[in-house]
Amino acid sequence: MSKYLDLSLIEINELLKSKKITPTDLVLECFEKIEKNKDLNCFITLDKEGALEKAKSLEDKEIKSLTYGIPIAIKDNIVTKNIKTTAASKMLENFIPIYDADVVKKINDADMIIIGKTNMDEFAMGSSTQTSFFGNTKNPWNKSLVPGGSSGGSAAAVSARLTPIALGSDTGGSIRQPSSFCGIVGLKPTYGRVSRYGLIAFASSLDQIGPMTRNVYENALVLNAICGKSSNDLTSYETNEDFTRLIGKDIEGMKIAIPKFYMSDAIDKEIKDKLNNIIDLLKSKNCTIDYVDIKYIDKAVPLYQIIAMGEASSNLARFDGIRYGYSYENPKDIRDLYFKTRRFGFGNEVKRRIMIGSYLLSGKNATTYYNKAMAIRDDMRNSFLKVYQDYDLIIGPTATTKAYPLGQDLDDAVKAFMDDILTIPVNMAGLPAMSLPIGFSTDHLPIGMQIIAAPFKEAKIYQLASFIEKELNLDLCPKLGGESNE
Amino acid sequence: MKDALTKEEVLHVAELARIEISEEELQMYQVKLKTLLNQIEEVTKINDHDSDYLIAPWQEDAILRSDTEGEMLNSKDVLMNAPRKSGNYIEVPVVITNE
């Protein structure tokens, strides 16, 4: 089997330019690897035919960018014209979109090749990819462990080097937490940086699409390709900049803040130790490191539960068995159709969240819970913004633990939220944040750190991340096929 | 704080959510929904916040879309995913009954 896909995008680009390889070679290698690692269950739908067709069509085209001819996997809650898009739910098991999401158009314009749709928690509700209707994804570092979630299929596919790039979505940590568990680089951009048009909505005021890659530079390249204003998403912004511009630039004297909450006893000691190593490294570059307080950060989980479940119940009201999606076979009337379609079409986690959300938004509860949570959220955001008056970046761990066993606490209604305790505050404030691998546990599982910037300051994140990545020079390729990682 | 919702409370919530639930599920939801609601209650105890409301996570001036004709979907495509259709229409079950 050829190994072009293990090379960097710059090296692949040189081979493509010198005609030593074609995009078709990359696609074939990609599908060979996917076939060999089928047991990871990273994909819900593959589109080999479409990918080969696109690869062929690129051969006559001028090579204008580093993303030319590169295979990419798309999370299955982002709609792709004529490619089944399920959001990992029985409700959309046979749904074929009739239009492309804005990001999908941009991926095509950047001459990337879509190879398939990745597994995820149903409607992105979960943090372990175990609520998927299509079965769980396995962690490439140890197949008895979860890959994290909800973008677990995307994270595992990139980690196992089945594809160099994937897109994920992040509502409360769904890009960053699986990136941490699988040892890859995942960025949740500023709310508004990337158009949400065509992203199957979970919580509209929190959702954001972002790149998941093997390294920092390639992550910035993908953000370059997918960002920008769209007339289809009026919360999106026109931002014309090159996100690679600060990569490799000196970080001497950078001012960095760590929320005290991010170093509490709830975080595994191994993870705190790794982060402390990074703090020492940054101090050796004369960076200022201070511990700060963020208002209400300790209440982020219940605030998120109100906002995310409230918005989810409203967004998922559209699944009624009438216009598209699963529909109960022999309803006796319209009410029976609604109630039975939703009973049999949604999984347990999703039903639980819709029920709580409907309750929280009903009658006077909307004021008691949702409006109040939005007000406190504004305070939290202002508290974050105040920190950025004095500091360049905020850092902390991505998750409180490393990847845990499949099946653990699967029935616990609160577990999925507690997994995201360190990532949720970022979505609440609409900030950009990255999960970056910073080492391994004693049992050789990846550990990630978070780098959080002020709104629209992603370039600063890439600057610090590229420095840490270069200093650590980690081997982030899991040994697959039953080989030991030790 | 009690540890479970009453059956009536769960049925009310399921009615709001338009989800039918079985007797077995009813018992499960009595406990699970209550666990979540107990955690959520913490928010109602916060009374020292300054802000009144957050409208958008990141806001500038209101942005309006230009008033121009855009791409239209054709009805054949739109009906493609409909579970029941008749000609150019989507079929729905009986809406008004004698019951």
Domain boundaries, chain A: 4-252+433-439+446-472
CA distance A107 to B90: 33
Among A131, A196, A202, residue whose Cα is nearest residue A171: A202
Asked whether the beta carbons of residue B43 and residue A360 sit closer than 8 angstroms, the reply is no
Computed over every residue of chain A, the mean pLDDT equals: 96
A374: part of which helix (H) or strand (E)? helix A372-390
What is residue A484's predicted lDDT score, i.e. its pLDDT?
39
The verdict on A377 touching B (C-beta cutoff 8 Å) is yes
Asked whether the beta carbons of residue A302 and residue B40 sit closer than 8 angstroms, the reply is yes
Burial class from Cβ neighbours inside 10 Å (0-12, 13-18, 19+) for residue A414 reads: middle
CA distance to A79, A336, B9, per residue, from B15 (Å): 30, 12, 10
If one counts every other C-beta atom within 10 angstroms of the C-beta of residue B97, the result is 10
CA distance to A36, A73, A143, A484, per residue, from A480 (Å): 10, 20, 9, 8
Name the CATH architecture for the domain at A4-252+433-439+446-472: Alpha-Beta Complex (3.90)
Q: Which residues of A are designated catalytic? A: 75, 150, 174
Name the residue range of residue B20's domain.
7-44
Strand, helix or coil at A470? helix
Residue A124 has what DSSP assignment? Answer: G
CA distance B57 to A444: 38
Strand pairing of B89-90 and B85-86?
antiparallel
CA distance A192 to A349: 28
Q: Is residue A434 a contact partner of residue A450, using CB atoms and an 8 Å limit?
A: yes
What is the band of A482 on the pLDDT scale with cuts at 50, 70, 90? very low
Region A278-288 average pLDDT: 98
Classify residue B21: in a domain, yes or no: yes
pTM (two decimals): 0.96
Region A134-138 average pLDDT: 98
Q: Is residue A104 a contact partner of residue A196, using CB atoms and an 8 Å limit?
A: no
Query: Does A213 have pLDDT greater than 80?
Result: yes
B29, B43, B60: best to mutate for the A interface, most A CBs within 10 A: B43
ipTM of the complex: 0.92
Q: How do residues A62-114 score in pLDDT, each as one tens digit?
A: 999 999 999 999 999 999 999 999 999 999 999 999 999 999 999 999 999 99
What is residue B73's predicted lDDT score, i.e. its pLDDT?
86
Query: Does A429 have pLDDT greater than 90?
Result: yes
Q: Which residue of B has its CA nearest to A323?
A: B82
What is residue B66's predicted lDDT score, i.e. its pLDDT?
80
**A192 neighbourhood in chain B, CB within 8 Å:** 57-58
Q: How do residues A296-355 score in pLDDT, each as one tens digit?
A: 999 999 999 999 999 999 999 999 999 999 999 999 999 999 999 999 999 999 999 999
Indicate the residue of B14, B52, B95 with minimum beta-carbon distance to A334.
B95
* Percent of chain A surpassing pLDDT 90: 94
What is residue A486's predicted lDDT score, i.e. its pLDDT?
37
Classify residue B69: in a domain, yes or no: no
Residue where the block lists tokens 């005021």: A205
Between residues A155 and A480, which one has the greater pLDDT? A155
Query: Does A232 have pLDDT greater than 60?
Result: yes
B5, B9, B20: best to mutate for the A interface, most A CBs within 10 A: B20
What is residue B99's predicted lDDT score, i.e. its pLDDT?
64
Region A276-295 average pLDDT: 98
Asked whether the beta carbons of residue B93 and residue A352 sit closer than 8 angstroms, the reply is no
What is residue B3's predicted lDDT score, i.e. its pLDDT?
83
Q: Report the length, in residues, of chain A.
A: 486
**Which residues of chain B are modeled with pLDDT < 50?**
none
What is residue A385's predicted lDDT score, i.e. its pLDDT?
97
Asked whether the beta carbons of residue A430 and residue B95 sit closer than 8 angstroms, the reply is no
What is residue A20's predicted lDDT score, i.e. its pLDDT?
97
What is residue A463's predicted lDDT score, i.e. its pLDDT?
98
Q: Is A432 left (phi over 0), alpha (psi -120 to 50) or beta?
A: beta
Asked whether the beta carbons of residue B37 and residue A306 sit closer than 8 angstroms, the reply is no
CA distance A414 to A305: 10
Listed ranges A125-139, A407-421, A468-482, B85-99; the one with the highest mean pLDDT: A125-139
Classify residue B64: in a domain, yes or no: no
Query: Does A161 have pLDDT greater than 80?
Result: yes
CA distance A367 to A478: 49
Among B40, B42, B43, B8, residue whose Cα is nearest residue A353: B40
Query: How many distinct structural domains can be found in chain B?
Result: 1
Classify residue B19: in a domain, yes or no: yes
Region A439-460 average pLDDT: 98
Classify residue B30: in a domain, yes or no: yes
CATH number at residue B20: 1.10.20
Q: Which residue of B has its CA nearest to A347?
A: B19
CA distance A408 to A480: 23
Q: Which residues, listed in sequence order, are joined to residue A145 by a DSSP beta bridge? A: A405
Least confident residue range of A159-173, A247-261, B29-43, B67-81: B67-81
